Amino acid sequence: MMTVRETRFPSSSATATQPDAVVRFCDTTLRDGEQAPGVAFTAAEKLAIAGALDAIGVHQIEAGIPAMGVTERDVLREILATDPKAEIVGWCRADHRDVEAAASCGLVTAHLTIPVSDLHLKSKLERDRAWARRRVRDCVVDATDRGMRVSVGFEDASRADDAFVTDLAGELRELGVTRLRWADTVGLLDPVSAYDRLGRLVRAVPGPWEIHAHDDFGLATANTIAAVQAGFTWVSTTVLGLGERAGNAPIEEVAMALRHLLKLPIDLDTTSFRTLAQLVSRAAGRPLPAGKAVVGESVFAHESGIHVHGILRHPATYEPFDPAEVGGRRRLTVGKHSGRASLRHALEQCGITAEESELEPLVEQVRLAATRHKRGLDSRDFQELLGRVEMPAPRAGTPTREEPV
């Protein structure tokens, strides 16, 4: 498809807030992402994904579950052996066996998870809040006694009693827990109530908080942004939102929303987002949807006549940011909804200058052809159509483009 590069978007860093407002990313593609039904990464794929996440500047990589067994621990050791800049963390239940498994891999950072809703405690574990409090405290002490840095995740926090979560969070801060993760485990949160609710939590228990949002109602990115607005400084993400059920907050969506909507500095190499998305898509065996926000093949493609007219004048008319910012490119396609501006531009790429009176019949032929093909026209379709429509000859010395229109 043809690429338009006449106008560049201004750098968003000009509107960024204070440097210390950088939001930090804990990416869990290799843990929660791999827990998506039917997804199983090979050791080579896990190493490749960890390397790609490290290369874009992710601050922490939740690389797996040490308690899963010898194979998982071996991969974790291999990831650690690459000496990544990112901190590598193992995901653990609040269980002494999990802490031991993490320590045996050479991990110096462990994330301990404890259910905090009565639903999970009673229905899943047949336990109560007092048990959860004792269990997580004991495991935190176990891990810190081993010299490990510890973060704690509150599973199903969105359905838990806020007073209990607040009290437990305060106790864990005193034990030296470095960060607390608030999990919306089945995606029941909404961004409006999240802002107030999570803001109260940050004020009650100051310090680093991380949001872990699931996408069951399509609100994971919105809830993650609301949490940052409320004072959370860490976000839990996965590439493409890969994860259990409907998935998690996608790293690419969260990063670009923070940069462009909240004007916060994002110290990730966002130009590698499309390459990273393709890597994870292949490893997961899940096609990358053309319309996937930020990294889909079609998110910077324009066919509608009024849109192409605007894009040719100034790309910002129909694009929220420069596609190059995420490793993409702009495409103008010829199809059923193309107008005269689109076709004039497509003809110019073929070295043809057409009069207005010659464009209208071509518009009608393009619409008929696109309807017949049930898709936009590629370069061969367009050349064949031009052969059936009386058009001026190409300018001498102007090569006909072979790439799709």
**Per-residue pLDDT reduced to its tens digit, 251-274:** 999 999 999 999 999 999 999 999
In angstroms, the Cα distances linking 277 to 53, 203, 211, 238 are 11, 36, 22, 10
The percentage of the chain sitting over the pLDDT mark of 70, rounded to a whole number, equals 81
Q: Residue 377 carries which DSSP code?
A: B
CA torsion angle 305 303 262 51 (round to 10): -160
Task: Please check whether residue 350 is in contact with residue 401, taking contact to mean a CB–CB distance below 8 angstroms.
Answer: yes
**Joined tokens for residue 73:** 């621990």
Task: Please check whether residue 366 is in contact with residue 337, taking contact to mean a CB–CB distance below 8 angstroms.
Answer: no
Q: Which backbone phi and psi does 155 adopt, to 5 degrees? A: -70, 135
Q: Which backbone phi and psi does 40 adopt, to 5 degrees? A: -145, 105
Nearest to 359 by CA among 343, 337, 378, 379: 343
Q: Where in the chain is the domain with CATH 3.20.20.70?
A: 21-284
The H or E element spanning position 372 is helix 356-373
Architecture of domain 21-284: Alpha-Beta Barrel (3.20)
Predicted local distance difference test score (pLDDT) of residue 402: 37
**Joined tokens for residue 128:** 């109560």
Average per-residue pLDDT for the chain: 87
Distance from the first to the final alpha carbon of the chain:
5
Please count the other Cβ atoms lying within 10 Å of the Cβ belonging to residue 148.
20
**Joined tokens for residue 124:** 């899943």
**Of 75-84, 196-205, 329-338, the least confident:** 329-338
Q: What is the pTM of this model?
A: 0.86
Would you say residue 1 has pLDDT above 90?
Answer: no
